[in-house]
Structure 1
Amino acid sequence: MPARRPARTALAMAAVALLSATATACGDTGGLRGAGTTPTAVSPAKLWPDLRPASSPAFPYDVSTRETVKGITVPGDDIRKVDPVDVVEAELKAHPDDYSSKGAYHATEARMRECRPGGDRARCPLLKPYYRDLTGDGRADLTLGFRLYPTNQLAVRVYTVERHRLVQVLADNDAIIGVELAGRALIERSPADISGYEYRTTWLWDPQQRAMVFSRDEYLHVGDGRPSRTPSPSASPSAAPPASSPATPSASASPSASASPSPSAR
């Protein structure tokens, strides 16, 4: 799981300080006023130019994940013909340290049995699957979400098909309150440490790494302390948006795979 907390805490402190300074300086809400003479542009001042380059990243962060799913076949290379329950169970089998009786998500394995015919669907941790071309190859990819019991976290996974094999190209676990697809970007919304704020993490396809990579982590004010809510467009098996408009939101397959647990340390 990405070690996102240290960087996010620092981001939150900086944002609060900036907002405080802005509030102090913006008390006048009158009409138009001259800003005075335009200051001369000054190039950035480089501090401590003799600093030795760091030998390792400041925080460990899994910017990309790529793993071939064992034991899963893809009939006709059509990812829609793959059973999502089989996909999740393959992950449980491949990572026993996380899902066994002593693992952090041990209750997930027991509840996956409820996803099969005859089970209690209300107890099934697997959420509705969504299909959209996120890799730009013209074929639909699979986005899955499943709850990580007994924690309040959600697992978000993206799969594609390569050479007749199912390949996982995104794996992220977090306390998530919403997931969205915008063009070929996947955006996760998570509760922040301060009431009225939330984190939004964006993942994008990287053709060099052949995976969805961490692209942006934003810290946003969303209102009066209650988590923001966004419309949940219905899923559709329609084709992905053209490559010429990768950043244009589409309502064709925007997942509302939202877990609404209380925030916890990730």
Structure 2
Amino acid sequence: MPPARPAPRASRAPRTPRAVAAVAVALLLAAVAGCGDAGGLVGAGSTPTAISPDRLWPQLTPASSPAFEVGEVESEVVAGVPVPGDDIRRVDPVAVVRAEIKEDSSDYENAGYVETLRRMADCGKQGAAGQRCPVLEPYYRDLTGDGHADLTLGFRQLPGNVTAVRVYTVEKHRLVRVMHWEDAVSGVELAGRSVIIRSPSEVAGYEYRLQWTWDPQQRSMLLTHDEMLRSGPEGPSPGPSASAR
């Protein structure tokens, strides 16, 4: 049988505006598909199926009170430390620490922080003796949102590797402590209305990250985040895991 003859080529019809637009769209799509490496849209793969949380032990009676006192709300007037002109920058940070030690002197002695008590006498001295003062440089920032600076203060609790971190504000002409924490500290940051403290973890490659945020209803800094994050060159992991602290 002779080979089939090819079908005759149809004559080209004149292009209408709609046909021209269709060709342009086709060429544009082809160009986008051919230059995906230059910023084109790339598929992200399949979307994982959302899984709703499972409620465990629904038969348990919900607790109505905490089992342990962890001091969630810290607000205490500092006695004996004046605030000249309601300006917290004029408050002597060393006097603030001395007032706390005086108020809790037995706690400091029982904890063995005898070196802190001894070195407080060096505060205000010149030269090498003054550098032995355990009170760190104070920082001032509006953490309460009232338009006035608040005081973030730190001091070493010696002997040991513990740093005390405190936040003070002024209320009704009085100095008020609104946050306190002690730990082995690797870094402290102020961000917005929050104080963020990073501390080393017992788990290699991880660190604790604790965040206190000002709460206008409680008039105090509340512990709003307690996380364990990856540390080191790679930085924090994108998804924090709950710590058992």
The alignment's TM-score, normalised by the length of structure 1, stands at 0.67
Per-residue Cα deviation, 1:45-99 (whole angstroms, up to 9, x for no partner) = 3222111123553554222211100001111000000110101000000111222
Q: Which residue of 2 aligns with 1:54?
A: 63
Could you tell which deviates more after superposition, 116-125 or 204-213? 116-125
User: What runs of 5+ residues in structure 1 fail to find an aligned partner?
Assistant: 1-30, 229-265
CA contact (8 A) 1:96 1:103 kept: no
State how far apart, in whole Å, the 1-side matches of 2:48 and 2:203 are. 37
Per-residue Cα deviation, 1:132-184 (whole angstroms, up to 9, x for no partner) = 00001100000000000112100000000011100000111111111000111
Q: Which residue of 2 aligns with 1:129?
A: 138
For residue 172 of structure 2, what is the amino acid of its counterpart? R
Which of 138, 155, 178 is the aligned partner of 2:164? 155
Per-residue Cα deviation, 1:10-54 (whole angstroms, up to 9, x for no partner) = xxxxxxxxxxxxxxxxxxxxx96743x864x55433222111123
Could you tell which deviates more after superposition, 58-67 or 168-177? 58-67
State how far apart, in whole Å, the 2-side matches of 1:139 and 1:70 are. 21
State how far apart, in whole Å, the 2-side matches of 1:42 and 1:173 are. 39
Q: Which residue of 1 aligns with 2:74?
A: 65
Could you tell which deviates more after superposition, 187-196 or 46-55? 46-55
Q: Do the aligned partners of residues 96 and 141 (structure 1) sit closer, same or farther apart at CA in structure 2, a change above 3 Å counting?
A: same
Max Rg structure: 2
Q: 1:209: how far off?
A: 1.3
Q: Do the aligned partners of residues 133 and 224 (structure 1) sit closer, same or farther apart at CA in structure 2, a change above 3 Å counting?
A: closer
SS in 1 for 2:79: strand
Per-residue Cα deviation, 1:95-142 (whole angstroms, up to 9, x for no partner) = 112223x44323211111111234712211111000000001100000
Q: Do the aligned partners of residues 95 and 183 (structure 1) sit closer, same or farther apart at CA in structure 2, a change above 3 Å counting?
A: same
Say whether residues 1:187 and 2:186 are aligned partners: no
CA contact (8 A) 1:196 1:224 kept: no
Say whether residues 1:113 and 2:116 are aligned partners: no
CA contact (8 A) 1:98 1:106 kept: no
Give RMSD over aligned pairs: 2.4
Q: Do the aligned partners of residues 87 and 58 (structure 1) sit closer, same or farther apart at CA in structure 2, a change above 3 Å counting?
A: same
Q: Which residue of 2 aligns with 1:232?
A: none
Say whether residues 1:211 and 2:220 are aligned partners: yes
State how far apart, in whole Å, the 2-side matches of 1:56 and 1:221 are. 33
SS in 1 for 2:148: coil
Could you tell which deviates more after superposition, 185-194 or 117-126? 117-126
State how far apart, in whole Å, the 2-side matches of 1:123 and 1:34 are. 59
- If asked which structure has higher relative contact order (CA below 8 Å, sep 6+), I would say 1
The alignment's TM-score, normalised by the length of structure 2, stands at 0.72
Could you tell which deviates more after superposition, 102-111 or 90-99? 102-111
For residue 117 of structure 2, what is the amino acid of its counterpart? E
SS in 1 for 2:89: helix
